[in-house]
Amino acid sequence: EAGVAQSPRYKIIEKRQSVAFWCNPISGHATLYWYQQILGQGPKLLIQFQNNGVVDDSQLPKDRFSAERLKGVDSTLKIQPAKLEDSAVYLCASSSTVVQETQYFGPGTRLLVL
């Protein structure tokens, strides 16, 4: 079974530029998550989708971050404009809709904002 795919793996941009990350979840997983992991911290949930609807985006900085999952499969997370403090690893995870099911994570995208 293929795992969660993410691209790119690394990205370096200057502040005020925009950037987009892509995620393809495990086949058949209806729930998709984007997490931000700042160096030295645990992952923090940014947004959760169930199919193509948003379930929780309470910690997403909506003035600069946006995410979509138009067809209920793959997803894109965008930052525009980027700030220095956005430097982090962006992790995508997926799971089935069963509440106790495990979230499986992709390899992440490491973003450096200069």
Partner 1 sequence: AQSVAQPEDQVNVAEGNPLTVKCTYSVSGNPYLFWYVQYPNRGLQFLLKYITGDNLVKGSYGFEAEFNKSQTSFHLKKPSALVSDSALYFCAVRDMNTGFQKLVFGTGTRLLVSP
Residue 7: name the closest of 15, 20, 113 by CA. 20
Asked if 82 and 16 touch (Cβ cutoff 8 Å), the reply is yes
Part in contact with partner 1 (CB under 8 A); list of ranges 11-19, 68-76, 78-86, 102-110: 102-110
Q: Does 53 bind partner 1 (CB under 8 A)?
A: no
Of 12, 15, 56, 114, the residue at the interface with partner 1 (CB under 8 A) is 56
- DSSP letter assigned to residue 72: S
Residue 80: enclosing H or E segment and its boundaries? none
Q: How far is the CB of 54 from partner 1 (least distance, A)?
A: 11
Of 7, 16, 18, 44, the residue at the interface with partner 1 (CB under 8 A) is 44
Part in contact with partner 1 (CB under 8 A); list of ranges 14-22, 43-51, 63-71, 76-84: 43-51
Of 25, 36, 95, 113, the residue at the interface with partner 1 (CB under 8 A) is 95
73: tokens are 């499969």
Q: Does 94 bind partner 1 (CB under 8 A)?
A: no
2: tokens are 């293929």
Q: Is the dihedral of CA 25, 26, 32, 34 positive or negative?
A: negative
SS3 59: coil
Interaction site with partner 1 (CB under 8 A): 4, 6, 31, 40-45, 48, 55-56, 91, 93, 95, 99-108, 110
